[in-house]
Structure 1
């Protein structure tokens, strides 16, 4: 009997210990699931670099702009009457050449975006990272718009201008504008197209980046590394 009574506290302690160990295990698992601030920063930056590189590569490839309806560059809005008039008087081939050459110029420029985005990613603070990860679906895209647009414009414009000359866009668009301006009673259009193509190239880049951002936020298969999986699982649990 005495041995049995002595055994009871041991049994109680054992079961209490199991509960305690269970709680410790749960806490340990929870802590291992939630990424640290450093992991969040590294994971998000990894995701953004992958996304921006992919966007730049896609758009700088042959037909990256021309073959993509979402970003394809057409005549400027104020010059669409030029296109209609040219086609109506049998100059449809000239209009087609203008559109193709504008997109080729944007494709040439898009490859210059990578180092600009890499630099913007390196400059991110912990607050930037947190705001992006737990922000709106396009929080990263909006961050890049704020921090890279001026640099992109400065970098893209000379490339666009050179490419417009190289692929004949300056000549084609100048010829198109000249042909249109010869039509009686029309309002004259500016034959300089480089600013328009530069802005449309930048806009197209952000369209692609927004798609990549949405993809990694919503598509588990896009989280291709253990770090991305851990960080965006945390995002899934905490998203608004």
Structure 2
């Protein structure tokens, strides 16, 4: 009986067995190459479908420019009669940020396509937003730097640097050199973070919703729970 049981056990387990370089589920054999290609495809889809309209509200912009420790400074600026100028500035800056986000899509796709993997299989198995997290940790800084020139162009187009200088002078008197004055770098960081949030949302959708897996590769890789 034991002699018969062992071969049957192996026959049952074989379809879902895997090695370090591949994993098998039924008739499909997931390789490291397929795993990496599926991750790139999923993240590129998220970048192409990104819609950041309304993502750069006054509150979000002010939180980027003025950290929590500087909120008292904001109240003082309002008391100095700069409320209207701050509102106009943040609204225009939000528009410039949206334009930069649109211009940054090819930059993100290029970064995704050039991303190097150490273990794509592990990313597939880990679930959640592990693919986006990997992109953020591996090329996040370089993507932010690549976005900065586009942000500078938008700032110049909307003449925001001049407005920023006017608003920030009273703040500098109050806080000295504690404030980061590099508007282009600050806003490039914000645009980059909003893009990553869009990628996270798309990754969750692809991993959990069958209709979001719009290609054969995404269906093969993300329709199964790899262990």
Alignment match of 2:83 (pick from 92, 98, 109): 92
Aligned pair in 2 of structure 1 residues 166, 173: CA closer, same or farther (>3 Å)? Answer: same
Task: Tell me if 1:42 matches 2:25.
Answer: no
Alignment match of 1:175 (pick from 166, 177, 186): 166
Q: Which residue of 1 aligns with 2:150?
A: 159
Larger radius of gyration: 1
Q: Which residue of 2 aligns with 1:197?
A: 187
SS in 2 for 1:188: helix
What RMSD in Å do the two structures reach over aligned CA positions?
3.3
* Mapping for residues 229-240 of structure 1, pairs under 5 Å: 229-234=219-224, 236-238=225-227
Q: What is the CA–CA distance in structure 2 between the aligned matches of 1:150 and 1:196, rounded to whole Å? A: 13
Aligned pair in 2 of structure 1 residues 124, 170: CA closer, same or farther (>3 Å)? Answer: closer
1:167 CA displacement: 1.7
Task: Tell me if 1:147 matches 2:138.
Answer: yes
Q: What stretches of structure 2 of length at least 5 have no aligned partner?
A: 1-10, 16-24
Relative to the length of structure 1, the TM-score reads 0.69
Q: Is the contact made by 2:155 and 2:184 (CA closer than 8 Å) also made in structure 1? A: yes
SS in 1 for 2:61: coil
Q: Which stretch shows the higher mean deviation, 117-126 or 127-136?
A: 117-126
Aligned pair in 2 of structure 1 residues 181, 73: CA closer, same or farther (>3 Å)? Answer: closer
State the aligned residue count.
Answer: 204
Relative to the length of structure 2, the TM-score reads 0.72
Q: What stretches of structure 1 of length at least 5 have no aligned partner?
A: 1-22
Q: What is the CA–CA distance in structure 2 between the aligned matches of 1:153 and 1:43, rounded to whole Å? A: 24
Q: Is the contact made by 1:82 and 1:176 (CA closer than 8 Å) also made in structure 2? A: no
